[in-house]
Amino acid sequence: MEKEVYSICFMCSFRCPIKVKVKDGQVTWIEGNPHVAGMEGSLCPRGAAGHSLLYDDQRLQSPLIRTGKRGEGKFRKATWDEALDMVGEKLSAIIKEHGGHSVVLGERAQLATHVSKTFLKAIGSPNHFTHDAICKGSVNTACRSIFGYVDSQMGFDYKNTKHIVLYGRNIFESLSVKEVNNLMYAMEHGAKMTYIDPRVTVTATKAHRYWMIRPGTDLALNYALINIILNERLYDATFVDKWVLGLKELQDFINPYTPDWAEQETGIPAGAIIELAREAGKDRPSVIFHFGYRGASHQNEIYFRRSILILNALIGSIESKGGLFFKKGPSEEDGQPARKLTQQKFPEIDLPRFDKVGTKDFPLPDPNHGVGQILPYAILNQDPYPIKALIAYRFDPIMSIPDSTLTKKALDELDLILAIEINYSDIAWYADVVLPESTYLERTDCVQQVNGLKPQMFLRKQAVAPRYDTRDGVMILKQIADRIGTGKFFPYESIDELVRWQLENTGFTMEDFESKGFVTYGKKQIFWDRGEGIKFKTPSKKIEFKSSLLEDAGFESFPDYKPVAKPDSNHFRLVVGRVALHTHVSTQNNLYLNELCSENVLWINKDRAAELGINNGDSVEVASSVGKGQISVKATDLIHPETVFLLHGFGHEAESAERSCRKGINDALLQENLTDKIGGSPALHDTFVTVTPVEY
């Protein structure tokens, strides 16, 4: 029997809508959903490799209980009841002795995140955090400081833009299919792209203008761009006069930061900076200065991201065709969103979070995501209280939090590490109990509320039965809750029952998703009236260059620029990034993708390599203050001399993931655990390393 199932991919975080073809209970083909504008039936390599994930005999196949030391990989298979009972008993004992707040759950944000949050709220724990915090916490804070919205509530009208400026946003490799298709359409119809990065990426090769900027100096570039836009009055005066607070303060502040000054700091010619500013002024308001997806490079990250947002506001791109927009929800069409379990009434929690977000230590980061890289310090220092249990839900702290050695040291202090996983990740390899989740092709999931210019809902629909002894994540959490006395907060017996509950009061049913995979609240795109109708969420209801969020917490809106020192002759700034073939740390063992990209190499400027006696392909030792390892070198002129580069996500230690085990080096092993104390992101590019030839 053949059928077609409309669903949602989960080979990365973008969740592209897909169509799955099934014959006799087997997936035969996956493609982009042809009914969704911008997808055009296309899919990226990771999405196409979902078939390989489904049929992989090296993924988790049953519950596991550790029998050896942590990290040894010695497990025994267990039944679900045995494994769930063990988790329930251990959690109950921990909660009884130390309180529910001693339990932390970290996850990769997903459609069922409301279920994870419900699990913690029910036991009285404030300690939920997501991978988003480690990826883009400072972007979130920057957006709130200027517009009152978080970054995920904002979107880009790629298809209609006239000029897009990307700061290391490697959009053609760390990609979303719809975004790329829409941007390619714009470029085919005359749009220009400026790309700024210390390394030549695939995106750089597609750009009309590429600048190999000195790493860490992007804020200097933006200060100079703002200077020219203001002093030559290239900005949208009508829009700025109506909506912006703090223009005079910005003008007074920015005057010393000229293009000539920026040239000395960034290495970009002053004339080129002036040219970009004038082009943006000419093409406004259909210009995008992209504020980035991952925004976790430096300890001043929030101010760099704010400078990008200020450029957009000056150009008047907010709520403009070809610019930035605020995502519109169902209420704009008099509709109701899908319900979430977090809307229930829970026991009150009056304790701080493990990362102290919301206290004087971290007053500004978003508590919906937290500051995940603080976890090792919170455990080791027992500050603000002892942490005794970690639930890692498809999130690997060993490979995602900087300084893996420190992270492992902290994990060893815990009484329980539970991994809910699909693959043999390094945290699964380190866990006490491993509970295997079904793949996205084997399960229905919670409703995806997709706000945008047209609010919609999508549904991930089960395409085939589970191949192995795996379960839906929402059922795993419910079954643990049943064992620790909080089952009443999970009033469903199946995922279908939960989805039907979510859809109550929306006017839609599960059956409405069958024909196309999604439902739409309205027919027309919604742009707010730029004259009177933009609904900013700042206290002033304006765009706040001078930010009440920052200044009420004791921080400056416009900090003086601090010059970025050049590393000495023996050191390089370590930068990391993505490739189109892999997602973070989760796909390196995928059969198809591993064959195409099986390990990372260290990019180094060929002239600097020659000075060190290093040739292309040589093995080197790369070392930082916290870790070291060996890796092969790619000596090239496609990277700035002050920088070396690693693909993120390699160097796995889980031996059951045979294809990826010990292939390449784990960048988190080398990275120092540094933080933007205002915005919340880790400073992943503020680690310096030495590179030494390996002698045999």
- The average pLDDT across 18-47 equals 96
Task: Tokens for 506, please give them.
Answer: 């929306």
Predicted confidence at residue 236, as pLDDT, reads: 98
* Mean pLDDT, the chain, whole residue set: 97
Question: Using CA atoms, how far apart are residues 49 and 173, in angstroms rounded to an integer?
Answer: 16
Q: Dihedral angle at the C-alpha atoms of 19, 23, 28, 33, nearest 10 degrees?
A: -10
The β-bridge partners of 165 are: 194, 289
Which uninterrupted H or E stretch holds 604?
A: strand 602-605
Rg (CA), the chain: 25
**For the chain, what percent of residues have pLDDT higher than 90?**
98
SS3 35: coil
Which uninterrupted H or E stretch holds 582?
A: none
Question: Using CA atoms, how far apart are residues 151 and 138, in angstroms rounded to an integer?
Answer: 10
Task: Tokens for 190, please give them.
Answer: 């005359």
| 3-state SS string for 619-646 | EEEEECCCCEEEEEEEEECCECCCEEEE
CA 41 to chain centre: 25
DSSP assignment letter at 498? H
SS3 597: coil
DSSP codes of every residue in 216-228: T-HHHHHHHHHHH
Dihedral sign (CA 58, 59, 63, 67): positive
CA-CA distances (angstroms) from residue 202 to 296, 630, 687?
A: 21, 26, 24
Task: Tokens for 430, please give them.
Answer: 């380190």
Question: Using CA atoms, how far apart are residues 344 and 510, in angstroms rounded to an integer?
Answer: 22
- Residue pointed to by tokens 């724990």: 125
Question: Using CA atoms, how far apart are residues 352 and 358, in angstroms rounded to an integer?
Answer: 8
Q: Is 266 left (phi over 0), alpha (psi -120 to 50) or beta?
A: alpha
Say yes or no to pLDDT of 221 above 80: yes
Question: Using CA atoms, how far apart are residues 60 and 75, in angstroms rounded to an integer?
Answer: 12
Predicted confidence at residue 695, as pLDDT, reads: 84
Cβ distance 448 to 86 under 8 Å? no
Angle between helices 270-283 and 259-266 (to 10 degrees): 120
- Pick the closest to residue 405 from 625, 661, 130 (CA basis): 625
**Better-predicted residue by pLDDT, 398 or 695:** 398
The string of pLDDT tens digits covering residues 500-547 is 999 999 999 999 999 999 999 998 999 999 999 999 999 999 999 999
Task: Tokens for 502, please give them.
Answer: 């979510």
The string of pLDDT tens digits covering residues 639-664 is 999 999 999 999 999 999 999 999 99
The β-bridge partners of 457 are: 449, 519
The β-bridge partners of 682 are: 675
Cα three-residue angle 625-626-630, rounded to 5 degrees: 95
| Identity of the residue numbered 132 | D
Residue 529: other Cβ atoms inside 10 A: 8
User: How many residues comprise the chain?
Assistant: 696
The β-bridge partners of 18 are: 7, 32
Question: Using CA atoms, how far apart are residues 207 and 200, in angstroms rounded to an integer?
Answer: 10
Rounded to 5 degrees, φ, ψ at 526 are -115, 110
The β-bridge partners of 309 are: none
| Identity of the residue numbered 169 | R
SS3 155: strand
Cβ distance 237 to 663 under 8 Å? no
- With 0-12 CB in 10 A as exposed, 13-18 as middle and 19+ as buried, what is 559? middle
Cβ distance 345 to 120 under 8 Å? no
Cβ distance 284 to 167 under 8 Å? no
Residues 6 or more apart whose CB falls under 8 angstroms from that of 501 comprise 339, 491, 492
The string of pLDDT tens digits covering residues 441-457 is 999 999 999 999 999 99
**For the chain, what percent of residues have pLDDT higher than 70?**
100
pLDDT band at 577 (very low <50, low <70, confident <90, very high): very high
What pTM value is reported for the model? 0.97
Cβ distance 386 to 98 under 8 Å? yes
Question: Using CA atoms, how far apart are residues 102 and 388, in angstroms rounded to an integer?
Answer: 5
Question: Using CA atoms, how far apart are residues 33 and 16, in angstroms rounded to an integer?
Answer: 8
Rounded to 5 degrees, φ, ψ at 144 are -65, -35
CA-CA distances (angstroms) from residue 564 to 65, 106, 258, 270, 559?
A: 49, 34, 17, 18, 14
Task: Tokens for 307, please give them.
Answer: 């400078």
Say how many Å lie between the first and final Cα of the chain, rounded: 59
- Pick the closest to residue 684 from 137, 297, 399 (CA basis): 297
Predicted confidence at residue 569, as pLDDT, reads: 85
The string of pLDDT tens digits covering residues 261-294 is 999 999 999 999 999 999 999 999 999 999 998 9
Cβ distance 379 to 408 under 8 Å? no
Predicted confidence at residue 162, as pLDDT, reads: 98
Predicted confidence at residue 309, as pLDDT, reads: 98
Which uninterrupted H or E stretch holds 136?
A: helix 131-146
pLDDT band at 696 (very low <50, low <70, confident <90, very high): confident
Predicted confidence at residue 1, as pLDDT, reads: 86
The string of pLDDT tens digits covering residues 589-599 is 999 999 999 99
Question: Using CA atoms, how far apart are residues 575 and 106, in angstroms rounded to an integer?
Answer: 25
Predicted confidence at residue 225, as pLDDT, reads: 98
Say yes or no to pLDDT of 60 above 90: yes
Question: Using CA atoms, how far apart are residues 317 and 86, in angstroms rounded to an integer?
Answer: 55
Question: Using CA atoms, how far apart are residues 331 and 333, in angstroms rounded to an integer?
Answer: 5
